[in-house]
Each structure stands twice: as C-alpha cells, then as structure tokens.
C-alpha cells in the first residue's frame, strides 16, 4: 500500500469515527420509540429518492450490533425488512 493510500484510508476512518460520534451525541438521549421512528423515516426517504441500499443498511446495523440491546437490534432488522418488502 502506498503512503498516499494509507493516509486517505486513515482520513476516511477518522471522518467515519467523527460522523459516528456526532450521530451518537445527537441521538443518545432519544427514546427507543424516537430512534425507531427516525430509522423508519430515514429508510422511507432513501427509498423515495432511490438511494436505499438494503445490504448496506444491514451491514451498517451489524457493525453497531454490539452497542445495541438485542431487542432494539431485532426491531431495527424487522423495520428494515418491512420497509424493504421482505416480510
């Protein structure tokens, strides 16, 4: 790997970490219902504008699964599946 590729990858990782921290700070005080409603709204917007990526959404959710209570994770999967039409 070239130094420039390493630097770009490192910067992307830092940017992602900042985004995650920012999102966490924004949402940490929301109730369970508020979080699920926000997820539903985001998915509906993505489907409406053609940017919804089911596999990407599931992969992202799996990356943060360790930080979620099991029931919340299962509800989020259910919501994504329902909106995607897989249920």
**Burial of 76 per CB tally in 10 Å (0-12, 13-18, 19+):** buried
For the entire predicted model, the pTM comes to 0.54
Q: Which residues are CB-contacts of 84 (< 8 A; sequence separation ≥ 6)? A: 43, 52, 54
Question: Could you report the per-residue pLDDT of 1-56, keeping only the tens digit for each?
Answer: 566 665 566 666 777 677 767 777 777 787 878 877 887 888 888 888 988 888 88
- For residues 51 and 40, what is the distance between their CA atoms, to the nearest angstrom? 14
């Amino acid at each position: 790997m070239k130094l420039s590729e390493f630097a770009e990858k490192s910067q992307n990782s830092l940017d992602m970490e900042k985004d995650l921290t920012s999102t966490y700070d924004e949402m940490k005080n929301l109730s369970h219902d508020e979080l699920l409603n926000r997820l539903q709204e985001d998915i509906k917007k993505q489907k409406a504008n053609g940017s919804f990526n089911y596999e990407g959404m599931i992969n992202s959710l799996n990356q943060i699964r360790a930080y979620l209570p099991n029931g919340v994770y299962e509800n989020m999967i259910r919501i994504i599946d329902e909106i995607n039409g897989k249920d």
